[in-house]
């Protein structure tokens, strides 16, 4: 087995909390506490990606996402931390008073190219053309996939399982539950569980891709990782369950009833969820695992995204 190297920007291990919500007790893994500015699951993946960017003497990192992308924000801040410039390609428009993640992208020096939704469908071609322009200026560019989800990036969540094994007895945890955008978090957890021979189910709430596209992408990521790093495992894909239908309002939107659950949970627990990922995932978690129960052995993984809440502050205040 080949284990890739990484830098150490993430503040890990992150804590596990026992929380009681509406009479039901459960565990929450606080991966929103991987850092302050770097808050969330993305930095676990970026520790690996930035190590390789530095090793290749990159002048710039390129990556892409929505205008409130947690991944782009974390990529820009991590790049600044290791002395690399960044350019991000965002689906959205510039704002006179940027908020949330976009505000931080600008504060930490990210160069931004805005794209329409139609242009964003051709993001790979756009980035490839931009890399050619930078190459003519003798600038080395290392581009990260959306969400940091590559066969290298998912090592952040392979090691997440190592971390969990040192914190809990997996006999008491039947599953791990999280939001899923690009699928890297779920893919890493599945590989980590296979390496440790754990019979743990992974639940993922798709907020961006269709259920079938997410399933295929996760499987593809895992197969590439197994091949590249010579892992002597076979992943049981029946251990992955994608809960569909919880982002029908669209990636950038959230329904008022979900915001009400976010606010109710915040008041009872002191923990806040974002409108794009964790808020939708927790709504699904509540419906499927918390209602009419006193306890639950499926752990909720809080993957961060706090800054996205500020961009939706009117919705949060007036829902």
In CATH, what is the architecture of 43-147? 3-Layer(aba) Sandwich (3.40)
Condensed to tens digits (0 to 9), the pLDDT of residues 178-222 reads 999 999 999 999 999 999 999 999 999 999 999 999 999 999 999
Condensed to tens digits (0 to 9), the pLDDT of residues 9-46 reads 999 999 999 999 999 999 999 999 999 999 999 999 99
Question: Which residues are CB-neighbours of 209 under 8 A, at least 6 positions away?
Answer: 180, 181, 182, 183, 217
Condensed to tens digits (0 to 9), the pLDDT of residues 156-173 reads 999 999 999 999 999 999
39, 64, 69, 149: which is the annotated catalytic residue? 69
Parallel/antiparallel/unpaired status of strands 298-302 and 175-180: parallel
- 214-218-224-228 Cα dihedral, nearest 10 degrees: 140
Long-range CB pairs of 288-297, under 8 A, 24+ apart, other chains included = 288/243, 289/26, 289/177, 290/21, 290/22, 290/24, 290/26, 291/24, 293/24, 294/23, 294/24, 294/25, 295/24, 295/25, 295/26, 296/24, 296/25, 296/26, 297/26, 297/172, 297/173, 297/174, 297/175
Average pLDDT over residues 234-257: 96
Condensed to tens digits (0 to 9), the pLDDT of residues 146-158 reads 999 999 999 999 9
Entry pTM: 0.96
Question: Which residues are CB-neighbours of 104 under 8 A, at least 6 positions away?
Answer: 37, 73, 76, 77, 307
Question: Which residues are CB-neighbours of 220 under 8 A, at least 6 positions away?
Answer: none
Q: State yes or no: is 150 an active-site residue.
A: no
3-class secondary structure, 206: strand
Locate CATH 3.40.50.1100 in the chain: 16-41+150-318, 43-147
Q: Does CATH place domain 16-41+150-318 in 3.40.50.1100?
A: yes
Is a pLDDT exceeding 90 seen at residue 292?
no
Please choose, from the candidates 129, 130, 88, the residue with its C-alpha nearest in 3D space to the C-alpha of residue 112.
88
- Rounded distance between C-alpha atoms, residue 283 and residue 281, angstroms: 5
Contact assessment for residue 97 and residue 106, using Cβ atoms and an 8 Å cutoff: no
């Amino acid at each position: 087995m080949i284990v890739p190297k990484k830098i150490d920007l993430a503040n890990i291990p992150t804590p596990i909390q026992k929380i009681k919500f509406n009479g039901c007790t459960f565990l929450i893994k606080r991966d929103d506490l991987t850092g302050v500015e770097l808050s969330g699951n993305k930095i676990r993946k970026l520790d690996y990606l930035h190590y390789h960017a530095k090793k290749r003497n990159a002048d710039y990192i390129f990556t892409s996402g929505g205008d409130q992308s947690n991944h782009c924000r974390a990529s820009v801040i991590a790049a600044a931390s290791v002395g690399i410039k960044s350019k991000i390609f965002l689906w959205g428009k510039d704002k006179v008073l940027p908020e949330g993640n976009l505000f931080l992208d600008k504060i930490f020096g990210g160069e931004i190219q805005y794209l329409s939704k139609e242009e964003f469908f051709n993001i790979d071609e756009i980035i490839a053309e931009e890399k050619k322009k930078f190459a003519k200026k003798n600038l080395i560019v290392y581009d990260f996939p959306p969400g940091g989800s590559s066969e290298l990036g998912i090592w952040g969540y392979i090691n997440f399982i190592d971390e969990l094994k040192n914190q809990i007895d997996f006999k008491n945890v039947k599953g791990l539950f999280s939001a899923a955008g690009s699928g890297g978090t779920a893919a890493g957890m599945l590989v980590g569980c296979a390496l440790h021979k754990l019979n743990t189910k992974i639940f993922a709430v798709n907020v961006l891709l269709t259920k079938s596209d997410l399933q295929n992408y996760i499987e593809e990521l895992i197969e590439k990782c197994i091949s590249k790093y010579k892992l002597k495992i076979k992943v049981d894909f029946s251990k992955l369950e994608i809960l569909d239908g919880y982002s029908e309002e669209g990636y950038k939107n959230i329904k008022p009833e979900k915001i009400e659950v976010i606010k109710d949970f915040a008041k009872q627990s002191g923990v806040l969820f974002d409108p794009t990922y964790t808020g939708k995932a927790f709504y699904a978690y509540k419906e499927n695992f918390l209602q009419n129960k006193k306890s639950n052995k499926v752990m909720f993984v809080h993957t961060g995204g706090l800054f996205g809440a500020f961009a939706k502050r009117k919705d949060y205040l007036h829902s």
